[in-house]
Amino acid sequence: MVLCIGPTGSGKTLLLKKLQNIDAVDNTTSAVPTVGTNIINLKVADKLYTIRELGGAIAPMWPNYFVNVGKLMYVVDASDLCQISAAGVLLYTTLVNPLLKGAKFLLVLSKMDTSYRQMRNEALLMLQMRRLQNEISQKITILEASAIDGKGRDEILKWITD
């Protein structure tokens, strides 16, 4: 199972809708913050993948869902630098959970359509990704994405199916 987590308002729901259907999200699409959990079935090349999205509001309960997770997508709003410090704390506590020791990690910098290019670098600096990758055993794949314009969609689908 793939688990999709991140702070409230990071763009998880719309990103998952875009993964399901490239035409499902546009400039007029909005989403209500996920309060609990959503299950998304994603069909790619005649194979079905299940993705469980957990709302940011239930972050203290996330570890209850870490059993048998093979892949974890962590979504951060790259256009909101104020949110990134809090997102980093949640990310660090997730990475050190022993249930996820064998899981593959994907850090998705979302909402890249509304941020300027340098924000990616600033977000990674604020998350201390270089230091973090030296201190943990898991490899973290980092991708930029936008649910509105579809940026990163193909790369995320490839990561899910690999």
Average pLDDT over residues 14-30: 83
The pLDDT assigned to 79 comes to: 84
- Indicate whether 5 pLDDT > 90: yes
* Three-class DSSP category at 39: strand
% of the chain with per-residue pLDDT over 70 = 96
**Domains defined for the chain, CATH in brackets:** 2-161 (3.40.50.300)
Average pLDDT over residues 94-98: 93
Tens of pLDDT, residue by residue over 102-115, are 999 999 999 887 76
* Three-class DSSP category at 51: strand
The pLDDT assigned to 117 comes to: 64
The pLDDT assigned to 67 comes to: 95
